[in-house]
Amino acid sequence: MDLGDVKWNGETKRLSGTANVIGGEPFKIVVANNGQKPTSVSAEAATAKFEAVGSGDLTAIVLERPTTGTVTWQMHCQ
């Protein structure tokens, strides 16, 4: 499975999980914002950024790392 341990914490407005990322390839996680506004994204042992998805209420988290491995990531919302 490419994604694991995905959790939403309503108190801190944080979505987090793990992803099995192939080295040198962007790994995209498309998230339905459901009225939330993503404010930051971070990852351990990888770069993380947001990417717009169409004109709807979707955001993509893009993870990249030079070697294949598991990445722990988190996205914060307002």
pLDDT tens digits, 27-74:
999 999 998 999 999 999 999 999 989 877 899 999 999 999 999 999
Domain count, the chain: 1
**Residue pair 57/7 in contact by the 8 Å Cβ criterion:** no
- For residue 65, the enclosing domain spans 3-77
pLDDT tens digits, 25-36:
999 999 999 989
pLDDT band per the 50, 70, 90 thresholds, residue 1? low
Alpha-carbon distance 41 to 61, whole Å?
Answer: 7
pTM listed for this prediction: 0.92
